[in-house]
């Protein structure tokens, strides 16, 4: 897998590290490439629903962030990213040791960028596609991040 340039990886990771929700969930970035970001979420009781599956909210959150940061890898310095909309289809119960969300840019743009979202449940060597979606993001002038 191709890695993004060092300064892009640093900018993406620094922004991700400021996201309270991702820290609260225990999510981490596992890959930053040009137009593609992977986010991993380990299984733990705090991110599950009543049947023990990963909660759809946790699944959707890491998918949204993976797509947002995938777009952000292609944005120029001094810009930022916000989600305009996203749709996600949950395909199977999300059970496994961890989830991996993959955000991939389908169509970059000067203002709007479209991303594909995929979430896999992982257990050992087994990988199951449990969610897929699409997202629209907007490039904005950089604003202070907390």
What integer pLDDT is reported at residue 146 of this predicted model? Answer: 64
Mean pLDDT, residues 32-52: 97
**Residue 47 · residue 61 · CB < 8 Å:** no
Instruction: Return the SS3 of 13.
Output: helix
What integer pLDDT is reported at residue 94 of this predicted model? Answer: 97
What angle do helix axes 6-17 and 56-72 make, rounded to 10 degrees?
150
- pTM for the whole thing? 0.95
**Residue 27 · residue 41 · CB < 8 Å:** yes
pLDDT tens column, 77-111: 999 999 999 999 999 999 999 999 999 999 999 99
Mean pLDDT, residues 115-142: 96
- CATH number for the domain whose boundaries are 6-141: 3.10.129.10
Residues 6+ apart with CB under 8 A from 144: none
Is the pLDDT assigned to residue 42 strictly greater than 70? yes
Q: Which two tokens stand for residue 105?
A: 């840019």
- CA angle (34, 117, 12) in 5-degree steps: 40
pLDDT tens column, 67-80: 999 999 999 999 99
What integer pLDDT is reported at residue 144 of this predicted model? Answer: 67
What integer pLDDT is reported at residue 41 of this predicted model? Answer: 98
**CA 112, chain centre distance (Å):** 17
């Amino acid at each position: 897998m191709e890695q993004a340039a060092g300064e892009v990886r640093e900018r993406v990771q620094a922004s991700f590290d400021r996201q309270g929700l991702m820290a609260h969930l225990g999510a981490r970035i596992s890959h930053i490439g040009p137009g593609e970001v992977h986010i991993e979420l380990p299984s733990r009781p705090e991110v599950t629903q009543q049947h023990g599956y990963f909660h759809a909210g946790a699944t959707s959150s890491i998918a949204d962030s993976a797509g947002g940061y995938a777009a952000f890898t292609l944005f120029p310095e001094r810009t930022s990213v916000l989600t305009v909309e996203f749709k996600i289809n949950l395909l199977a119960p999300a059970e496994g040791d961890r989830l991996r969300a993959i955000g991939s840019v389908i169509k970059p743009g000067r203002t709007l960028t479209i991303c594909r979202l995929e979430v896999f449940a992982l257990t050992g060597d087994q990988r199951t596609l449990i969610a897929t979606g699409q997202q629209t993001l907007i490039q904005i002038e950089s604003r202070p991040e907390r």
